[in-house]
Amino acid sequence: MSETLSNLGTRQVESEEQTNVTGQTTPILGFSPIDGMVLAISNMGGAGFPVQMKLRDSNGDPLPLDTEVYVRWDAPHLDQPQVVSYKLSNIGTFRRLSIKEQQNEEYRDRTRVELKGRRLVVEDIETAEIAINSSEQVDWANSEFYFDDKAVNVTSGGN
């Protein structure tokens, strides 16, 4: 079943907002499916999947243009999370466009994050993370993050 996944989570996927450590690649969001569920995030048309984000600091200012964004996967058997996307090295488009504009079909090709494989599958004991490397800390009271609902599928573990 398609899900609109955001920094607020869903009934089937728990989310955890986190504050990044400046100057290091650290998570800002974690997504874990509830017991018995599986989360799949897929590239759409081979060119990644659209996301919408407004990342701001505690003063309400956008994070710097050179903020790097990654998708990572973490599991209990790993020593550290694995980067599963190509680096998004400039968030200028996300700074310029409103969330509504980012959702517009006209801009979808500019707001994509590309996974290194076709899709990321996350079991209920694992976590998908959005990680950033930025000189400023994200403040979730002023920030938003959404995955395109066509890229996200949540099913029971047996399916």
Q: Mean pLDDT score of the chain, rounded to an integer?
A: 91
Beta strand pairing call for 13-17 and 82-83: unpaired
**Would residue 5 count as lying in a domain?**
no
- What tens digit of pLDDT does each residue of 94-127 get? 999 999 999 998 888 889 999 999 999 999 999 9
CATH number at residue 91: 2.60.120.1180
pLDDT of the residue at 6? 65
**Would residue 129 count as lying in a domain?**
yes
**Would residue 21 count as lying in a domain?**
yes
Split into its structural domains, the chain has a count of: 1
**Would residue 18 count as lying in a domain?**
yes
- What tens digit of pLDDT does each residue of 74-88 get? 999 999 999 999 999
- One DSSP character per residue, the chain reads -B---BTT--SSEEEEE-PPPTTS-EEEEEEEEPTTEEEEEE-STTS-EEEEEE-B-TTSPBPPTT-EEEEEEE-TT-SSPEE-B--B---HHHHHS-HHHHHSGGGGGGSEE-BSSSEEEE-TT-EEEEEEE-SS---TTS-EEEE-GGGEEEEETT-
pLDDT of the residue at 149? 84
**Would residue 44 count as lying in a domain?**
yes
Residue numbers of the domain that contains 77? 13-156
**Would residue 87 count as lying in a domain?**
yes
**Would residue 8 count as lying in a domain?**
no
